[in-house]
Structure 1
Amino acid sequence: MNFSSLVRQHWAALRALLVLTMIVGLAYPLLIWLIAQIPGLRANANGSIVEVDGRPVGSKLIGQSFADSDGNPLPEYFQSRPSAAGDGYDPMATSASNLGPESIVDTAGDPSLPEDDNGAKSSLLTLVCSRSAAVGALEGVDGSRPFCTGDGVGAVLSVIGPRDSRGNVVQPTRVVSVNQPCDTTKTPFLDTYEGVRVECAKYGEDYSVGQIVPIRGSAPADPVVPPDAVTASASGLDPNISIAYADLQVNRVAKARGVSADLIRQAVADHSDGRSLGIFGEPRVNVLELNLELDQKYPAKA
């Protein structure tokens, strides 16, 4: 290949690069931006930022925490769904827990290490149980759920003993409450299982040799605390809660703000939306918009 042919090929490649850069790098993004500024699309495209007195306080599209510096829920505010995004409600780390329905056994932490760095990891079941117990305590309702212990962990046993051809233990010789590591001052959620005393879990022991058995318990089949109060969304940033979860919080918010529950219920109704296009999703309440209206109309008591 002679020098002139080499120059022509490189010049053609350079022209193609310039043309594609103009189209893909400039013209196309500009077109999409202009379309996004059409009325009806503009708010979503610009982040749906909500301002109070000229100061941005959040986005209608992104969930956020309404808690104090120690992470305790502020009683005058409706609470959002739990979040698994980063350390919670982190828009730069949107994510879910990636735990599935078979995640029912906790990973015990090393008791010799600090609690925040001992390797402990809660199962999805224990996360749901602990959140339900916390919501129940906050709202003054029964936070119990099936397959949860009274202290808010998964009610799961490892049943050890001879098995039949299907893998089921036929005669338990040892039973361990795998999600309840405890000492002599505490007792497992269940005294006995099929005549065998239930033990607490101990750090370092492998209980996977036993048959893992979740225990339903006596909690109602339809818990008072709704599902969205105990599960994070796929993004971890859902800005909405269900009507049921909002209703559960009405009395607490009304008491903290010193107004009647009926006024708070009306505010909830004003910020409730039905299913998208009438068929998709569930009716919902935007938490940020609701809390901002309450701050404006019914400031919290000092």
Structure 2
Amino acid sequence: MWSVMRAAGGLVLVMTMMTGVAYPLTVTGVAQAVFPWQAGGSLLERDGVPVGSALIGQAFSQPGYFHGRPSLAGTGYDAASSGASNLAPSSAALMAAIDQRAAALRQENPEAPHDVPVDLVTASASGLDPHISPAAALWQVNRVARARGASPEAVRALVMAHVEGRALGFLGEPVVNVLRLNQALDQMQPR
């Protein structure tokens, strides 16, 4: 019996070292060697100071910035509380929240078309999505241009320059990274 216990204990120790220590260290080392930017958190910087990750959205509420999707992760874009509302499409609470968000967006963007792009009024499954559709970015152009004293055409051109195509050319839909776009806005000179 003791020989079986000793063998089982040894197996647990060996497997713990392999799967709990050696494998994670190997994967981390390879990731940092082959994909250092991604393994480091895909951090975007401004004047050498990290301002956020290209992979996690941020709450922008100032009129001179493009706004991302609503976030239901904690108090908003909290990676420790990632998750969705889990409300069904038929939920009255979800419909009320969408109507409230749409009304606020229409008030903030009076020159925009009446139909608000769906990704501006619905949260993503993780609540951390850093992207919006090109249509959602273009919908906000007049507000951002007005707040920055820039021409709508210049802001629209900036949006189009930041459209990321489909992954591998055929997966998903084109998107715009809100943090990258807002960083580019800060570099743009008003008209």
TM-score between the two structures when normalised by the length of structure 2: 0.90
- For the residue of structure 1 that corresponds to 2:140, the secondary structure is helix
**Structure 2 residue 126 is the aligned partner of structure 1 residue 138:** no
Equivalent of 2:43 in 46, 49, 52 = 49
Show CA shifts across 1:172-214 (max 9, x none): xxxxxxxxxxxxxxxxxxxxxxxxxxxxxxxxxxxxxxxxxxx
Aligned to 2:73: 85
Distance in 1, matches of 2:9 and 2:124, equals 47
Distance in 1, matches of 2:117 and 2:52, equals 25
Q: Compute the RMSD of aligned alpha carbons.
A: 1.9
Contact 1:75 1:252 in 2 (8 A): yes
Aligned to 1:231: 122
Aligned to 1:27: 22
Show CA shifts across 1:142-189 (max 9, x none): 77xxxxxxxxxxxxxxxxxxxxxxxxxxxxxxxxxxxxxxxxxxxxxx
How far residue 10 of structure 1 moved from its aligned partner, in angstroms, is 4.1
How far residue 295 of structure 1 moved from its aligned partner, in angstroms, is 1.1
- For the residue of structure 2 that corresponds to 1:35, the secondary structure is helix
- For the residue of structure 2 that corresponds to 1:25, the secondary structure is helix
Contact 1:271 1:285 in 2 (8 A): yes
Aligned to 1:274: 165
Aligned to 2:86: 98
**Structure 2 residue 131 is the aligned partner of structure 1 residue 240:** yes
| Deviating 4+ runs (over 4 angstroms) | none
The residue type equivalent to 1:231 in the other structure is T
How far residue 141 of structure 1 moved from its aligned partner, in angstroms, is 4.2
Equivalent of 1:17 in 12, 18, 23 = 12
Identity of aligned residues (%): 51
Contact 2:111 2:142 in 1 (8 A): no
Aligned to 1:65: 59
**Structure 2 residue 152 is the aligned partner of structure 1 residue 261:** yes
Distance in 2, matches of 1:276 and 1:32, equals 24
Larger Rg: 1
Relative to structure 2, which stretch is displaced further, 226-235 or 134-143?
Answer: 134-143
How far residue 38 of structure 1 moved from its aligned partner, in angstroms, is 4.4
Aligned to 1:249: 140
Show CA shifts across 1:79-100 (max 9, x none): 0101111122111101111111
Q: Which runs of 5+ in 1 are unaligned?
A: 67-72, 105-122, 144-222
- For the residue of structure 2 that corresponds to 1:101, the secondary structure is coil
How far residue 47 of structure 1 moved from its aligned partner, in angstroms, is 1.4
Contact 2:112 2:140 in 1 (8 A): no
Matches within 5 A, 1:107-186: 123-141=93-111
- For the residue of structure 2 that corresponds to 1:140, the secondary structure is coil
- For the residue of structure 2 that corresponds to 1:294, the secondary structure is helix
Distance in 1, matches of 2:115 and 2:5, equals 71
Contact 2:112 2:139 in 1 (8 A): no
How far residue 12 of structure 1 moved from its aligned partner, in angstroms, is 2.6
Higher helix share: 2
The residue type equivalent to 2:167 in the other structure is S
How far residue 279 of structure 1 moved from its aligned partner, in angstroms, is 2.1
